[in-house]
Amino acid sequence: MTSALPRDLSCPRIAIRKNGGLELSRIVAGMWRMVEWGMTVEQRIAFIEQCIALGVTSFDHADIYGNYGVEGLFGEALRAQPSLRDRMQLISKCGIRLLSNKRPQHTIQHYDTSAAHIVASAEESLRQLHTDRLDLLLIHRPDPLMDFDEIAQAFTRLKQDGKVLHFGVSNFSHHQFEALDRRIELSTNQVEFSPLHVAPMFDETFDGLQDKGVAPMIWSPLAGGRLFTANDANAENLRLVIKDIADRLHQPFASVVFAWIMQLPSRPFPLTGSGRIEAISVAVAGTTFQLARADWFTILRAARGHDVA
């Protein structure tokens, strides 16, 4: 069956923490592949404008994306069209030191959540993005040497200086999130989740965030494309189950996946990973409908390979 996207799609915007504060578009445009898209400055501006026209106003970055290159590409677009900045929310991450020809001083890939590195990374992101503030800064990965008090102090300094407005983490466990959130209010935990990776639903990650009124951000909601390409028996069956529901609802396959994720009561914010505005539109379409509970659990059963007990 064919599926048609609704006309006049508009992505809603909601507070990522229920007590107010930062509002993000429910679908967040992930920029980590931007180097691969091969866009000119004009094409980048046009893509950003198309996202904003769809209501996708939140853009996710990290200092290391594209071998330390993505933030600079995005910043070129903002420098060429400065009026875009006040129409968007900019998110970035720090805390990983990559082996890179752009960072010859790095002798081993490692984590660095020292206050000095957090502040320096944030300031470099501001330079690369051609902006005076980040709306949200995340610690990219848990660091075995991270000192929660030191991270909180660095975050406080950046906030006092007006350089970062809100803070969060990425890939943190339930306990790690709790430990840092006790020291400084965190807006989110960005984690991997998809029908092919459902662990956060069962390891207290989502439960703990829901309890605090904090919405997770979701990276790789389509499992990095494996939902479309993986050829093991479980993935193939899952694909058929989702396709059957999508055909019956006259919705695109990926829209059903995004709707399935966003139906969780922790209110997840999925990230896209595409430079095609059509793919962004399909994600936004997932905000326009809810699945019947039986359909939702049919996808979960296919994802896990067994019924609930």
Alpha-carbon span 235 to 260, nearest angstrom: 16
Q: Work out whether the CA dihedral 33, 276, 169, 24 comes out positive or negative.
A: positive
Alpha-carbon span 12 to 243, nearest angstrom: 25
Amino acid at 224: G
For 43, 123, 163, 230, 280, the CA distances from 283, given in Å and listed in that order, are 21, 32, 31, 20, 5
Helix, strand or coil for residue 227?
helix
Identify the helix (H) or strand (E) that includes residue 249.
helix 233-249
65 is an active site residue: yes
Structure tokens at 181: 């959130």
Helix, strand or coil for residue 171?
coil
Alpha-carbon span 159 to 141, nearest angstrom: 21
> Among residues 65, 155, 167, 177, which one is catalytic?
65
Any idea which residues carry the catalytic annotation? Answer: 65
